Amino acid sequence: MSEGALAGLRVVVSAGPTYEDIDPVRFIGNRSSGKMGFAIAAAAAKRGADTVLVAGPVTLASPAGVDRRDVRSAAQMHAAVLAALPADVYIGAAAVADFTPATVAGGKIKKRPGGGGLVLDLVPTADILAEVASHPLRPRLVVGFAAETGDLEANALDKLRRKRLDMIAANRVGVAGGGFESDDNTLHVYDAAGVRVLGPAPKTRLADDLLDLVAARLS
């Protein structure tokens, strides 16, 4: 990696899960540790980028030299990412909830003795990545992630086109040796030029390799 390769550029990274509150004590979340996004933000700052890290609820320490903005919900992440524009690069590594409760109950929802189940009314969240890629302040490079259990290539290419991305890093979840909560992963990075396989390797190493691809696209 070349220190200073991203000097003078502004890089915005989203990381971690989002929590969608159901009532004051419960939420809908997902199995994201935030490690990949934090490693990317650390690597971007090390290369001299002015780096904003929009972080969902995680227990990770802030990387050196990063402007961290903590959020909880998809709506808060959406607002924080848009507020961080304009930028040269956006890397959406967060596992944003696709649905959120239509209303948040003011008090703890009780189970009724002999009562039936609970039906939650969920509404879709905004697709932050797609919105950034179609924004009037669109960064020069918009990079997405795709965690897939099925056909990696077909799903990644579909997201690349549909969300109007420049690059997408896809990984398998639900398999041994990679994914959401692990320190290691394998990334299949798709762009107009084809695919490159990074890893299996620690997420810190993958972050460096991914930023090499980003820096090459910007030069």
Using CB under 6 A as the criterion, which residues of the chain lie in contact with ligand C5P when the complex forms?
14, 74, 92, 94, 96, 98, 125, 127-129, 144-146, 159
- Least distance from C-beta 87 to ligand C5P, angstroms? 14
Residues 12, 92 contacting (CB under 8 angstroms): no
Beta carbons within 8 Å of 156's beta carbon, 6+ residues apart: 146, 148, 168, 170, 188, 190
**Residue 30 is among the residues annotated as catalytic for this protein:** yes
SS3 13: strand
In the complex with ligand C5P, which residue's Cβ is closer, 20 or 50? 20
- Least distance from C-beta 33 to ligand C5P, angstroms? 14
For residue 149, the Cα-to-chain-centroid distance in whole angstroms is: 17
In the complex with ligand C5P, which residue's Cβ is closer, 47 or 78? 78
Q: How many CA atoms lie within 13 A of 73 on its CB side?
A: 15
Beta carbons within 8 Å of 3's beta carbon, 6+ residues apart: 46, 47, 48
- Least distance from C-beta 178 to ligand C5P, angstroms? 16
In the complex with ligand C5P, which residue's Cβ is closer, 66 or 156? 156
- Least distance from C-beta 134 to ligand C5P, angstroms? 12
In the complex with ligand C5P, which residue's Cβ is closer, 18 or 182? 18
Residues 51, 41 contacting (CB under 8 angstroms): yes
Residues 189, 206 contacting (CB under 8 angstroms): no
Q: Which residues are catalytic?
A: 30
